[in-house]
Amino acid sequence: MREIVLDTETTGFEPSEGHRIVEIGAVELFNHLPTGRTYHQYINPERPMPREAFEVHGLGDDFLRDKPLFKAIGQAFLDFVGDAKLVIHNAAFDMKFLNAELSAISLPRLPWERAIDTLAIARAKFPGSPASLDALCRRFGVDNSRREKHGALLDSEILAEVYLELIGGRQPDLVLAPVAATPARKAQPQPEHVPRPTARPQPLPPRLTDEEAAAHEAFIAKLGEASIWRKRLA
């Protein structure tokens, strides 16, 4: 199963207000294990960067001015994503921005059904507890010391670790298959009295030859009078 852990950075909160994506980062998982394949792209938003957004991710106008427009990278992004599930923290935010950008250049939108929202998973698993990415890193002991500011690729790498913890540990496929219980056998009624075996009506014929009996007698004689065999025969 292929999954893409994904994050974006933007100029604001609402694409309907003219805000745009400025960075996309993504990490590929296959059967819940990282493959080493990543996607990372800075994007020129074609608009000034608000101060509030700059303080979050540190991506300013001068840095983004020579970066490609979304229309130049949109298809490459879709090619990387393919038909994989999308693991996103607060998926509603990133999905609305991605689909707004894709729709603006007449590319297919990403269906909501493909999104796995780790924020929703965390809130369901730990109701009433903080569920931010930093809070989940503290809960699971995930190192986020490099996260001085938000960055799409770094946040995707951190989220991949958090996601694996949320779904059952960093080796979720290493589980013991439950063993089906075998049906208990019906107890058989036991008789109140079990008769003791009786002697045979006719004893079995001996299988020991005369030569073997003589050899055994000679062997016992060598053991001395105090041997166990001598005492048994006596």
Task: Specify whether 19 is catalytic.
Answer: no
Question: Quick one: how far is CA 132 from the chain centroid?
Answer: 20
Q: Label residue 58 exposed, middle or buried (CB < 10 Å: 0-12, 13-18, 19+).
A: middle
Distance CA 121, CA 166 (A): 7
Six-digit token string for 120: 């929703």
Check: CB of residue 15 under 8 Å from CB of residue 96: yes
DSSP secondary structure string for all residues of 60-101: -HHHHTTSPPHHHHHHHHHHHHTT-EEEETTHHHHHHHHHHH
Nearest to 91 by CA among 111, 70, 119: 119
Indicate which residue of 19, 32, 57, 150 is catalytic: 150
Q: Which tokens sit at 131?
A: 């569920």
**The 33-42 sheet, strands edge to edge:** 33-42, 21-30, 2-10, 85-88, 115-117
**How many helices and strands in the chain, by DSSP H and E?**
9, 5
Question: Catalytic amino acids?
Answer: 150
